[in-house]
Amino acid sequence: MPALEKATEVQQAYQRLREAILQGELLPGQRLVEKELSERFGLGRAAIRTALAKLEQDGLVESEPYRGAWVRVITEEEAVEILEARMALECLAVRHAARKATPEAIARLRQIHAQMEARFREGDLLGMSELNSL
């Protein structure tokens, strides 16, 4: 049973670290100190270490011997490639969603769009981006 519990802790560490990186709680270039992460997430250092290794395989973390680990910084070229891929996928998703949209869904989208425009006029780009995830 202890092996199963350890695997669960590693999975939990992986999920929480991954989410923190993707949500911007851990920023590109930020050092990832095992002890601090262990305390922050209430997980063992071994689980954190294993999760960091997996995140390095996923391309979200970089590390070097004697220097530790940090959140990977993506290049401008990689950012452009990511945005181009997202644009293509999102256009396809929107096309399919539009075909199945109910009047209620359309009204909700218009409401969100109006809120996004208001946030944009206020200069609240982060708030506008958060509405985009609704």
Percent of the chain with pLDDT over 90: 88
109 and 83 together in one domain: yes
Structure tokens at 81: 């490639």
Report the CATH number at residue 19.
1.10.10.10
67 and 84 together in one domain: no
Which of 41, 71, 101 is the C-terminal boundary of a domain? 71
State the amino acid at position 72 in one-letter form: R
Domain count, the chain: 2
> How far is Cα 14 from Cα 49, in angstroms, rounded to an integer?
9
7 and 67 together in one domain: yes
What mean pLDDT comes out for the span 113-122? 96
Other Cβ atoms less than 10 A from the Cβ of 32: the count is: 21
What mean pLDDT comes out for the span 73-100? 94
Domain containing residue 123: 76-132
37 and 91 together in one domain: no
Q: What pLDDT is stored for residue 11 in this prediction? A: 95
Longest CA–CA separation in the chain, Å: 58
For 71-87, letters b (16+ CB in 10 Å) and e give: bbeeeeeeeeeeeeeee
Which of 54, 71, 88 is the C-terminal boundary of a domain? 71
Q: What pLDDT is stored for residue 8 in this prediction? A: 86
115 and 91 together in one domain: yes
82 and 56 together in one domain: no
Percent of the chain with pLDDT over 70: 95
What mean pLDDT comes out for the span 15-19? 96
Task: State if pTM tops 0.85.
Answer: no
Please write the tens of the pLDDT for every residue from 25-53. 999 999 999 999 999 999 999 999 999 99
